Structure 1
Amino acid sequence: MSVSVIEQAKIQAQVLVPLVKTLQAELGEARANALVRKALGDLYRGFGEEFWKAKNRDKHDPDLGKAVSSAFRTYGSDDALAYDVIEQTADAFAVDVTHCAYAEFYKALGEPELGFLLVCTSDFAVVEGFGPDIKLTRTQTIMQGASHCDFRYRRNDGGAR
């Protein structure tokens, strides 16, 4: 049986939320959050590397738009995300997420800041796993109270393809 990413996040939260809150109480919020970001960053960077290799195996010209689009379909399964694709090319993928069940879940727990720490910050680590020529820009998130999340993935000019 396959478990959707949103269901995985809910299961993980049962352990991670009390763990992070205890770390914050013992170490202070800034130190605890830095440790969590480092640990999860290493994990998600590895996920990004595996994903990028799997999507681009035997391709001399990896298509950024197709790869990231497939990731959004995976993370959005079970109605976890609603989004509008703004741009999709071999060198760019831009999307506005207009509904996020991850944010709704953490807000219902009363822990949107932990949702941002545990879910939203991982997006940048995953992209680091794609390689140094791929960058993500995001200026706002639903988790932090914005109307939408604005994901902008780009291949750097002159990056190897």
Structure 2
Amino acid sequence: MVEANEVAISHLQRRKIEGRVLIPFIQVLRDRFGEDAMRDVVDETIRRLAAEDGARWAATYGQTTSSLRAVAQEVWAGGGGLDVQLVGESEDHLDFNVTRCRYAEFYKELGLANLGVHVHCNRDRAMLAGFNDELELSRSQTIMEGGACCDFRFRKRP
């Protein structure tokens, strides 16, 4: 949702803007406090923000697997951020593959794919907790980490 005084931008554009601010900040954190402390701070911050995003998307779209598909297609893939291939969907599961990830391309262009995993990919489980804690995510690979695709498999918890 765009407020009256905001300019509509895609999710990808938002993440690129955030990345241009976060990356130098994260590099300073690493230089001053070390790799482990930097990862702890970044991971905690990203998890908190992701859970807030998930709750906001649940309020807007609903909390079902079809609502989650709408978030993936309209928000995450909106503006060309992802190429998404739906594999299967029912009331209790949603399976899709991301076959192209422009978020990963952005971080790889900067030579920072390892940081992209922390800033972008690590959001998914925390987002899901904020979206609907009755769902769980399994994923065996991501493009950011060199996989052929990102294989998202969402299931209702038993």
TM-score (ref. length: structure 1): 0.89
Q: Secondary structure at the match of 1:136?
A: strand
> Is the contact made by 2:61 and 2:71 (CA closer than 8 Å) also made in structure 1?
no
- Structure 1 residue 16: Cα displacement: 0.3
- The aligned amino acid for 2:54 is G
Gaps (5+ residues) in structure 1? Answer: 57-61
- Aligned-partner Cα distance in 1 for 2:15–2:133: 27
CA RMSD of aligned residues (A): 1.2
Pairing partner for 1:6 from 12, 23, 27: 12
1:30-41 correspondence to structure 2 within 5 Å:
30-41=36-47
- Structure 1 residue 29: Cα displacement: 1.0
Q: Deviations along 1:108-160, whole A, 9 cap, x unmatched? A: 00100111111100111100112331111111100011110011111112xxx
- Aligned-partner Cα distance in 1 for 2:52–2:18: 18
Number of aligned positions between the proteins: 151
Gaps (5+ residues) in structure 2? Answer: 1-6
Q: Deviations along 1:80-100, whole A, 9 cap, x unmatched? A: 111211111111111111100
Q: Counterpart of 1:29?
A: 35
Q: Secondary structure at the match of 1:129?
A: helix
Q: Counterpart of 1:44?
A: 50
User: 1:156 aligned to 2:151?
Assistant: no
- Aligned-partner Cα distance in 2 for 1:6–1:132: 25
User: 1:130 aligned to 2:136?
Assistant: no
Q: Counterpart of 1:102?
A: 103
- Aligned-partner Cα distance in 1 for 2:60–2:85: 25
- Aligned-partner Cα distance in 2 for 1:35–1:153: 27
TM-score (ref. length: structure 2): 0.91
